[in-house]
Amino acid sequence: MLFTNPLLLIGLAGIAIPILIHLFNFRRYKTIHFSNVKMLEDIEKKTKRESQIMHLIVLALRVLGIAALVLAFAQPYIPNPKHKSGKGNLVTVFVDNSYSMESNSKNGTMLNDAVDAAKAIVNSFNYGDDFVLTTQDFSGEESRVLNKDQMLELLDKIEVSPNSHTFDEVLTFEKNTAAQSQHTNVVHYYISDFQKNGFDATELRNDTAAQTFLIPMPAEGTNNVSIDSCWFLSPVFKLGNQVTLYARISNYGDKMLEKLPVKLYINDKQKAISTVDLQPGGTVDCRMVYTIDATGIQCARIAIEDAPIVFDDNLFLTYTVTDNSNIVAILGKQGNRFVQALYGKDSVFNYQGMPYTQVNYSVMKKADVVVMSEVPSLTSGLADELGKFVQGGGSLLVLPGTEMDASWSSFLSGLGVGRYGQLVKNTVKCKSVNRESLYFKGAFNNKDEKLDMPVTLQHYTIGGSTKGGEVIMTLENGDAMLSAYNVGKGKVILSAVGMDDAFGNAHRHALFFVPLHNVGIMSAMQTKLYNVIGRDNMQTVSLTGAHTEGSVSLKSQKGQFEFIPEQRASGNETALYFHNQVTESGLYDVLNNGAVEGAMAFNQDRKESDLSYFDEKALQDMIKDAPADIKIVPGDTKDMAKAATDNMNGKPLWLYFLIFSLLCFLAEIAILRFWGKAKLNEKE
Give the CATH number of domain 225-305.
Answer: 2.60.40.10
The answer, yes or no, to whether residue 6 has pLDDT greater than 70, is yes
Short-list 340, 395, 331, 349, CA closest to 368:
395
Domain spans, the chain:
2-79+654-683, 89-221+615-646, 225-305, 325-522, 531-602
Q: What is the mean pLDDT of residues 50-68?
A: 81
**pLDDT at residue 354, rounded to an integer:** 92
Topology classification of domain 325-522: Rossmann fold (3.40.50)
pLDDT digits (tens, 9 = 90+) for 315-367: 999 998 877 788 999 998 777 888 988 888 877 788 999 999 899 988 888 88
**pLDDT at residue 219, rounded to an integer:** 75
pLDDT more than 70, % of the chain: 87
pLDDT band at 549 (very low <50, low <70, confident <90, very high): confident
CA dihedral 468, 470, 474, 479 (to 10 degrees): -10
The answer, yes or no, to whether residue 532 has pLDDT greater than 70, is yes
Asked if the domains 225-305 and 531-602 are classified in one and the same CATH topology, the answer is: yes
pLDDT digits (tens, 9 = 90+) for 124-135: 888 888 999 999
pTM here? 0.68
CB atoms within 10 A of CB 363: 12
Give the CATH number of domain 89-221+615-646.
Answer: 3.40.50.410
Architecture of 531-602 per CATH?
Answer: Sandwich (2.60)
Here the contacts of 269-273 (C-beta below 8 Å, separation 24 or greater) are 271/300, 272/245
Instruction: Average the pLDDT over each of 142-146, 326-330, 401-405, 449-453 and give the range with the smallest value.
Output: 449-453
**Half-sphere exposure of residue 509: CA atoms within 13 angstroms, side-chain side:** 19
**pLDDT at residue 375, rounded to an integer:** 92
Q: What is the mean pLDDT of residues 53-80?
A: 81
In angstroms, the CA 11 to CA 585 distance is 62
**pLDDT at residue 680, rounded to an integer:** 46
The answer, yes or no, to whether residue 438 has pLDDT greater than 60, is yes
pLDDT digits (tens, 9 = 90+) for 600-626: 999 998 888 888 888 888 888 888 877
pLDDT digits (tens, 9 = 90+) for 558-614: 878 899 999 887 666 788 999 888 988 999 999 988 889 889 999 998 888 888 888
Check: CB of residue 61 under 8 Å from CB of residue 668.
yes
pLDDT digits (tens, 9 = 90+) for 652-681: 777 888 898 899 888 888 887 776 555 545
The angle subtended at Cα 235 by Cα 229 and Cα 236, nearest 5°, is 150
Q: What is the mean pLDDT of residues 93-108?
A: 87
pLDDT more than 90, % of the chain: 36
